[in-house]
Amino acid sequence: MSDTKAEATGLETTAATSPTPVKRSFGSKVAAHFKKWWWLHLIIFVIVVLVVVLPVVYVGYPNIAKHDVNDSTLEITSMVISDPSPDSFQLNQTQVIGSDSSYHPKIYAFDAAVSLAGAAASFANVRVPSVKSEDGAQVEVNQLVDLGDVGAFGDYAKAVMLQEEVALNIYGKPDLKQGSLPKITVTYNKTVTMKGLNQLKGFDVTDFHILLKKENGRNMKGNVYIPNPSVMTINMGNLTLDLSVAGKPMGQSYLDNLVLKPGNNTVPMTSTVDQSAIIKMITSDDNPYKDGLVPFDIVGNSSFYNGKELPYFTKALASNNLTVHLNVTKALAEIGLTNI
């Protein structure tokens, strides 16, 4: 009996002295979890970052860049064509970028194929310098342009001569970089609309005089007015123009060293005309020009610079027909021929 009591007492003593388990807080459990599984959470974090960032950098960023490039505008405010040859010319051009984007990436220099909009082939490649793409940024192009397709440039020159507006396409694949983001390649495909020469509407012979004694083989001289509504300054060289009346050849006129500038141009003109044919025409019984005003038709014959023909300007000149009314009776009276 005493043994049983002792055992009971011992059990009671043991139960009384055993420590009570401590309940851990939520924070300690979390800390212990991360201490044990930190590497797993790091992997998950990296994966999440990559899943979020990579599409932004490699999908969103290029798409934004592409949209902004497509949405931007380009205006040519000045174009100077000088020192022309049969297959090249010096180009000085100012372009202005228009953009309402909040991004202003750097566009690296690139080669652009330039063509008449809608043409099958470009006529030249132009090196476009590096520029920061922001509203109002100017791009200055200054280089010797080699014509890859002279015929295509002739088509462009013809369009400039005949049309009120001309669309020029510029195509290339420049590299682009925004801040610390990686450099990417975008497609630049922009059509620029410029004013053309609009058939030289308003062209006029402001004055002319018949020469009794030839000067350099020419027997008439005067001045012509040539309007240029475009932003282009064009060195066209020495121009030869064919003159006719009612389909009958009457001679040729010459515009030497013609540089056509934006705005109003008044330049000297000399001519070699068949004076006897003109006098015979206006003194005949069936003379249709009783008032002395004779309608001369003018069409371009050729353009030469430094002794070489410029086929593209010749093509443009030949495409345009002009008519001016000259007071031949008055001009003859100036040299004493009043009774004809």
For residue 239, the Cα-to-chain-centroid distance in whole angstroms is 27
Q: Is residue 280 part of a domain?
A: yes
257 and 131 in a common domain: no
With cut-offs at 50, 70 and 90, classify the pLDDT of residue 64: low
Q: Per residue in 319-331, pLDDT tens?
A: 999 999 999 989 8
204 and 108 in a common domain: no
Q: Per residue in 112-125, pLDDT tens?
A: 999 999 999 999 99
The identity of residue 21, as a single letter, is P
With cut-offs at 50, 70 and 90, classify the pLDDT of residue 24: low
219 and 141 in a common domain: no
Instruction: Answer with the residue of higher pLDDT: 18 or 38.
Output: 38
251 and 274 in a common domain: yes
pTM over the 0.85 mark: no
Q: Is residue 29 part of a domain?
A: no
DSSP state of 69: H
211 and 114 in a common domain: no
For residue 133, the Cα-to-chain-centroid distance in whole angstroms is 16
User: What is the total count of domains within the chain?
Assistant: 2
Mean pLDDT of 90-107: 87
> Pick from 140, 162, 196: which residue ends a domain?
196
d(CA 174, CA 108): 6
Q: Is residue 115 part of a domain?
A: yes
**C-beta neighbour count of 298 within 10 angstroms:** 21
Q: Per residue in 136-158, pLDDT tens?
A: 889 999 999 999 999 999 999 99
Q: Is residue 65 part of a domain?
A: no
Mean pLDDT of 178-184: 78
| DSSP class per residue in 33-52 | HHHHHHHHHHHHHHHHHHHH
Q: Give residue 247's domain range.
A: 199-334
190 and 205 in a common domain: no
d(CA 76, CA 234): 15
Mean pLDDT of 195-217: 94
How much is the CA Rg of the chain, to the nearest whole Å?
Answer: 41
330 and 208 in a common domain: yes
Q: Is residue 60 part of a domain?
A: no
> Pick from 179, 196, 213: which residue ends a domain?
196
Q: Which two tokens stand for residue 20?
A: 């009570």
Candidate ranges 35-49, 225-239, 286-300; pick with highest mean pLDDT: 225-239
Q: What is the CATH number of the domain that holds 242?
A: 2.60.40
Q: Is residue 10 part of a domain?
A: no
231 and 160 in a common domain: no
With cut-offs at 50, 70 and 90, classify the pLDDT of residue 11: very low
293 and 216 in a common domain: yes
The identity of residue 138, as a single letter, is Q
**Where does residue 29 fall: left (phi above 0), alpha (psi -120 to 50 degrees), or beta otherwise?**
alpha
Q: Which two tokens stand for residue 236?
A: 């066209």
Q: Is residue 53 part of a domain?
A: no
The identity of residue 205, as a single letter, is V
**C-beta neighbour count of 211 within 10 angstroms:** 14
235 and 325 in a common domain: yes
318 and 224 in a common domain: yes
DSSP state of 30: H
248 and 293 in a common domain: yes
d(CA 39, CA 29): 17
Q: Is residue 14 part of a domain?
A: no
> Pick from 196, 214, 231: which residue ends a domain?
196
